[in-house]
């Protein structure tokens, strides 16, 4: 049976990925921050193995990875994920996103991992696109517009270095907007959806949307 490790498994994307992999017959291990809720995993908690660990603490992370043992796939999803909130916590955003990935890649390198590793960047790395370009591709210059976006560029390029210099089997992606159940209401679509649901139950009211410009 193939095995996978998901960092940030209790989050929006991590929990959906865990469900998908278990249905595919893959044994799933996860790492969740000890301070974060694991409510998203309630339907599959008996089918997976989850370890509480702060990725900023390298020694604890290494001990956790050694307990899990070699895996076929590593999905690195753990991150501070809000561009808007990153302006309020720039230092925390950069430390959390960059150092956590650095710790993970260092450990995988030191243990000569042969896992296929997915490093998740963001379309926010491209920022504002100049000119009349109606679509972008991987050759579009990066232009991060928030501390979050800067942290994702750093993650992206750090992953490239560990692929180039240490031979880790890394794939880098820059996903665009994705939405769905369990996504935090700090993001626009779930914020609207949760308000609409409440308004329907209370027979109307005001939908707060912020600046739509």
| Spatial CA neighbour of 13 closest among 161, 180, 169, 136 | 180
What integer pLDDT is reported at residue 204 of this predicted model?
A: 81
Strand 116-120: give its sheet, edge to edge.
49-52, 27-32, 3-7, 73-76, 116-120, 169-173
- Which of 36, 126, 148, 162 is catalytic? The answer is 148
Residues 6+ apart with CB under 8 A from 207: 192, 195, 196, 199
Residues 6+ apart with CB under 8 A from 85: 93, 148, 186
Rounded Cα gap, residues 199 and 179, in angstroms: 21
Residues 166, 171, 176: CA angle, nearest 5 degrees: 145
On whether the pTM is more than 0.75, the answer is: yes
User: Residues in the chain with pLDDT < 50?
Assistant: none
DSSP H or E segment with residue 50: strand 49-52
Rounded Cα gap, residues 153 and 13, in angstroms: 20
43-99 confidence digits (pLDDT tens)? 999 999 999 999 999 999 999 999 999 999 999 999 998 888 999 999 999 999 999
Question: Could you confirm whether 148 is annotated as catalytic?
Answer: yes
End-to-end CA distance of the chain: 50
What integer pLDDT is reported at residue 132 of this predicted model?
A: 61
Residues 82, 8, 180: CA angle, nearest 5 degrees: 60
What integer pLDDT is reported at residue 27 of this predicted model?
A: 98
């Amino acid at each position: 049976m193939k095995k996978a490790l998901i960092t940030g498994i209790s989050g929006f994307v991590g929990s959906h990925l865990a469900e998908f992999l278990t249905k595919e017959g893959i044994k799933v291990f996860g790492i969740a921050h000890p301070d974060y809720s694991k409510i998203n995993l309630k339907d599959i908690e008996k089918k997976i193995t989850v370890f509480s660990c702060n990725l900023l603490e390298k020694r604890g992370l290494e001990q956790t990875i050694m307990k899990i043992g070699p895996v076929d796939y590593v999905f690195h999803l753990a991150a501070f994920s809000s561009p808007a909130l990153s302006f309020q916590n720039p230092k925390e955003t950069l430390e959390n996103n960059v150092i956590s990935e650095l710790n993970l890649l260092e450990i995988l390198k030191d243990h000569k991992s042969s896992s296929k590793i997915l490093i998740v960047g963001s379309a926010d790395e491209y920022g504002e696109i100049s000119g009349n370009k109606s679509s972008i591709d991987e050759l579009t210059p990066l232009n991060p517009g928030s501390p979050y976006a800067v942290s994702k560029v750093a993650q992206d390029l750090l992953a490239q270095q560990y692929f180039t210099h240490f031979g880790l089997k890394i794939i880098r992606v820059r996903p665009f907007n994705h939405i769905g159940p369990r996504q935090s209401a700090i993001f626009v679509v779930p914020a609207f959806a949760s308000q609409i649901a409440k308004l329907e139950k209370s027979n109307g009211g005001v939908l707060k949307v912020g600046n739509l410009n």
